[in-house]
Amino acid sequence: MPRMLLTTTIASLLAAAAWGADTPAADAPKAKAYPFDTCIVSNEKLDAMGGTVTVVKDGQEVKFCCKGCIKSFEKEPAKYLKKITDAPAKADAAPAAPAPAPAAGHGNHQH
């Protein structure tokens, strides 16, 4: 009898976990939208390397031109997140500026 109870309990837990995996949490906060059309690390267009890579860090959506840029971001995330949080204030305070040039040595995309 204990074996049947254990099997039923495990089956119930697995079913609940599978159902919950496809259902977003109602209380989960939505990540803040990424404000740029360029990679936060390299300043290249997001689709420059064949597709955008998106992660959420501390409630902020962050987009990269490649997975290699994520590695650079993870070394100094506060530095890059500050660029995002400072961007709206700069946009309101000054006229639109041209996008920054790609990072030096990043044109051939070696990290």
pLDDT in tens, 30-87: 899 999 999 999 999 998 888 899 999 999 999 999 999 999 999 999 999 999 999 8
C-beta atoms surrounding 2 within 10 Å: 6
Instruction: State if pTM tops 0.85.
Output: no
Can you tell me the distance from the alpha carbon of 69 to that of 57, in angstroms, rounded to the nearest whole number? Answer: 14
What is the band of 105 on the pLDDT scale with cuts at 50, 70, 90? low
The predicted structure's pLDDT at residue 103:
57
The CA-based diameter of the chain, rounded to the nearest angstrom, is 74
In whole angstroms, give the CA distance from residue 107 to residue 62.
21
- Say what the pLDDT of residue 50 is: 83
How much is the pLDDT for 58? Answer: 93
Distance CA 40, CA 69 (A): 8
